[in-house]
Structure 1
């Protein structure tokens, strides 16, 4: 199956409502359009003491070698803003993986 797209909400000076969350999909994972000014908001909806992990993949190899993806641990019942993500490093179609459906994702683009 193709990766699940995370819609990107443009931040404006007039203000915006919070973006709709995309439910984490640990089977197909996610992709988000990235112009280098994208920030992810990742919320762990697990109310117990279970931290969850989100992984952002690099778009390229270094000297022919795969680079270990960047991981972020999201504590139980907590949210984290992550980014921005350089387009040359993470790609125009940034791949985001989650380890559990407890993670809820939304994306924002800065002007």
Structure 2
């Protein structure tokens, strides 16, 4: 199946309402439109263990896959991650979650 899309909420000087979270999908994972000026808010809604979000880097380096970047989100905590330069992460950011307890919000800056 295709990756689950996460919408990007554009932040404005006038302000915007807090967007709804996208539930983590550890089976299909996620894709987010990326223009290089986007932040990802990841919240661990679980109260027992830290969870991991993986940010995939497209392409190859010297014929080898590029090691994905991982971020640990402590139990009952949140992490702001980004921005994601398009020359490294591409125009479609691929995000993998290890558990449905992770909730995602993408913010355009």
How many Å apart are 1:10 and its aligned residue?
0.3
Structure 1 runs not aligned, ≥5 long: none
* Alpha-carbon distance, 1:65 to partner: 1.0
How far is the alpha carbon of 1:18 from its aligned partner? 1.4
Could you state the TM-score of these two structures normalised by the residue count of structure 1? 0.96
Provide TM-score, normalisation by structure 2: 0.97
Q: Which structure 2 segments of 5+ residues have no match?
A: none
Deviation digits for residues 49-90 of structure 1 (CA, Å, limit 9, x no counterpart): x00000000022112111110000000000000000001110
Q: Which has the higher strand share?
A: 2
The CA RMSD measured in Å over matched residues stands at 0.6
Aligned equivalents of 2:47, 2:16: Cα separation in 1: 27
- Farther-moved stretch of structure 1 (2-11 vs 16-25): 16-25
Structure 1 residue runs of 4 or more that deviate by more than 4 Å after TM superposition: none
Q: Secondary structure at the match of 1:89?
A: helix
Number of the residue aligned with 2:36: 36
After the TM superposition, which residues 44-59 of structure 1 pair with which residues of structure 2 at under 5 Å, given as runs?
44-48=44-48, 50-59=49-58
